[in-house]
Amino acid sequence: MRPSLLNPLFAPVTSLPGVGPKQDKLLRYLLSRDETPRLVDLLLHLPSNVVDRRARPKIRDAVPGTVVTLEVTVDRHRPPPPRNARAPHLVYASDDTGDVVLTFFRAKPGYVEKLLPMGEKRYVSGTLQMYDGIPQIVHPDRVLDEEAIAKLSGIDPVYPLTEGLALGSLRRAIAQALQKLPPLPEWISPEVMRRCNFPSIAEALTRVHQPVELTDVLPDQPYWSRLAFDELLAGQLALALIRAQLRRPAGVRNAGDGHLRNRIIDALPYALTPSQRSAAAAIADDLKQPVRMLRLLQGDVGSGKTVVALLAAAAVAEVGKQAALMAPTEILARQHIKTIAPLAERAGMRVAILTGREKGKERRDIVTRLAEGEIDLLVGTHALIQDDVLFKDLALAIVDEQHRFGVRERLALTSKGEAVDVLVLSATPIPRTLVLTYFGDMDISELREKPAGRQPIDTRAVPISRIEEVMDGVGRALQSGKLVYWICPLVEESEAEGTEHLTNATKRFEGLQKRFGDRVGLVHGQMKGTEKDRVMGQFAAHEIGLLVATTVVEVGVDVPAATIMVIENAERFGLAQLHQLRGRIGRGSEASTCLLLYSEPLGEMSKARLKVIRETTDGFRIAEEDLKLRGEGDVLGVRQSGLPGYRIARSEVHGQLITQARDEALRILKDDPKLKGERGEALRCLLYLYERDEAIPLIGAG
C-alpha cells in the first residue's frame, strides 16, 4: 500500500486548473507515460536551462538581442485592421527615456487589451530587438503587474518540451504541483546529508524549479544532486531487496554429477575457450552453494555465451530439474534454439521453444509437457512469463540481454519456481559502474577470447560519394559466391528532421535489385516473423547473396558464411550498435570486411566513434569508449543520455554517488531489513516516489 501521505503527489495532472485533455496528451508524450502523468512526474521533470530576467534597464539603455525586463506605461493599442488578420496587434509603451513597441501576432480579440490596459504600469520581459530604429519586443515572455513581479526571482527555468506544449503552461503546471508538495519525511541518514551537503527534498525541488541563483539548476549543484541521490538510492535499495530475496538460503541445490555436461562438451565441434571453461565452472559452483546464484555472464559478440548457458541448464537437468532461457526478441530466441537443439539432442536433453508464434495445439502440447517435467530447457520470449506457463520444477532462469527487461519480468520468471538461480547474459559488455547501477552487486564472468578459428575483420570508413565503387565491389563479391549484408538505418521515409539524407532499406533494396536481380533479399522489423525467417533462410542457403537489412540483424543472427558488411549512414549508429552489427560477419573461417559508409561533413562525436570502431574489435574497450563518448543510454541499448532507467542521475556528474547510494542501501538492509519504524516508513515513501515500489512486496517475504 502506498503511504497515504503521498496521495497528493499521485493525483493526475488533469486535476490542476488549466491542464485539460490536450495538455494531458502532450504531457504523456513529454514524460513518457502510457497513462495520465501524476504531479510527481511533473516535479521530477527538471529544467535544462534558465533565462535571466534580472536585467531591468531603462528603454534607452537596453541592449538589442538580450533578454530585458522593462518597467513601462501602456500608451496606446493598434489592433490589426479588420480585413487583415495576419497583421500584428501593436502596443506602444514608454518610460521616461524612450518608447518600445510590443508586437503580438494572431492574438485573440480583446486578449492584448486585457493583458496591457491603457494608462497602466506593467513589467514586460522578453528579447529586445531593433526594428526600423525603434526598440521592439515580439511576444513578450512575461507581462506582470507590480504585485506579480514582487514574487518572482527574475530567473526563469527552461524545460525540455514537446511540440505543441507551451513553456508557460508547463511552468504554471509545475508551480501548482509544487504548492501541493506534502511535508515529506527525511529518508537520507544525517551522516550522508552532512557529508554531501544535501538540502531537504522540499528545498531541492523548490530551488530547481524556482531558482534563486543561475547555478541552482546545474546537475552538479546540491539541489539537483540531492534528487539524483534519492533516485539512485531508490534504485539501489530495490536491487538490494531483490538481492536479499534471491540470496536467502535455498534448500536442495541444483548441480548434478556432470554426465550431461560432459556429453555436450564431447558433441562440440571445437574445444571450449579458457574463459568458457572457467565461467561454466563458476556457475556449477554457484549452483552447489546454499544460497541462490545471481551471476552476470558478459561476452562479446560470438564469444560463445549460448554454450555456457546450455552447460548451466545441463547441470540443473542432471538432478531432474528445469531451466528457462528468456530472450527479448523472437529472432534471438530462435537463434539460441538453433545453437542449443543439436547439442542438447546428442546429450539426451529435452528442449523446446515458446514464443508468440507457437499457437493452438502446438502451444498446448508444449505447456503440458513443461508442467509434466518432460522439457528440461524451455527457450522463449516474454511468452515464458504468461500465467498458464507452469514448470514442474524450475531451478534456473537464464535471462538474455537483461537490460531490455525490467525488474518485473525478472521477478515474474523467477517466481515460477522455488529458490530459482539466475544467470544473466549480456552481449554488450557493460562497464563496472553500470553493472552496479543496473544489477546491484552481481557476480560476474567474462568471456574474453574469440572462439578458435575466427578471422579478424578489416574495417574501413568510406564517404558516401564513393558508393558506386562500393557497389562495383559488392558485384564482384557476389560473382565469386560471397554473402553480403547491406545495413540501412531506416525502413521507410520518415518525416523526422535531419533524416533527409538517410537511405531507407526499402528504397536501397529496390535500387540494388535493379542492379543485381533476384540475388537480393530484404529483412526489416516491420515484417512478420515467418517472412523474416524465410528470407534469412534463403540467405543462409546461398539462394540470395545480398541481404539488405535494418538493425534487426543486430542481435543473434548467425550466418557463418557471410563475410562482407556495408553499413550505410554509419555515423548515425551508436558504437555498441556498430559493434553488434559488425559481429554478424567474421563468424566463419574466412577473412571478412566491414565498410562504414558515412555522409560528410562528420561531426566530432561521429568521427570519434568511427575511429574507435576501426581500431578495435574488443567489445569491452568499445563499451568503455562508448560510455566516455555519450553516457550509458546507448551502451545499454536504451536511447537516452543519463543512466539506464534513471531520469535525474547523470553518470558523468553523479558517478561517485552510485557507490555511496549502494553502500547506504546495504547498510539500511543490514540495520532494518523489514523497513520498520520511522525511517523505514520514509524509505517506503522514497521507493514509491521513484517507482521502485515493485520491490516492496519482497520486504520480509519468505
Q: Domain coordinates of the chain in residue numbers?
A: 4-50+173-217, 54-151, 271-447, 457-616
Domain 271-447: assigned CATH number: 3.40.50.300
Q: What's the predicted TM-score (pTM) here? A: 0.60
According to the model, what pLDDT value does residue 470 have? Answer: 96
Angle 167-179/21-30 helices, nearest 10 degrees? 90
Q: Report how far residue 299's alpha carbon sits from residue 447's, in angstroms, rounded to the nearest whole number.
A: 5
According to the model, what pLDDT value does residue 280 have? Answer: 95
Q: Report how far residue 56's alpha carbon sits from residue 71's, in angstroms, rounded to the nearest whole number.
A: 8
According to the model, what pLDDT value does residue 522 have? Answer: 92
According to the model, what pLDDT value does residue 634 have? Answer: 38
Same fold, 54-151 and 457-616: no
**599 φ, ψ (degrees, to nearest 5):** -95, 140
Mean pLDDT per segment of 10 residues, for the chain of length 702 residues?
93 95 92 91 93 91 93 95 88 96 90 94 94 93 89 86 87 95 96 95 96 91 96 89 70 80 92 93 91 84 86 95 91 87 94 92 95 96 91 93 63 84 80 63 79 80 95 95 90 49 80 94 84 88 93 68 93 83 84 93 86 86 74 38 67 82 91 89 94 73 40
With the C-alpha atoms ordered 538, 540, 543, 548, is the resulting torsion angle positive or negative?
positive
CATH topology of domain 457-616: Rossmann fold (3.40.50)
Question: How many contiguous H segments (helices) and E segments (strands) does the chain have?
Answer: 24, 21
According to the model, what pLDDT value does residue 440 have? Answer: 63
According to the model, what pLDDT value does residue 637 have? Answer: 37
Domain 54-151: assigned CATH number: 2.40.50.140
**Residues composing the chain:** 702
* Dihedral class, residue 301 (left if φ above 0, else alpha if ψ from -120 to 50, else beta): beta
Q: Are 453 and 516 in contact (CB under 8 A)?
A: no
Strands, E, within 456-598: which ranges?
457-463, 483-487, 520-523, 546-549, 562-567, 592-598
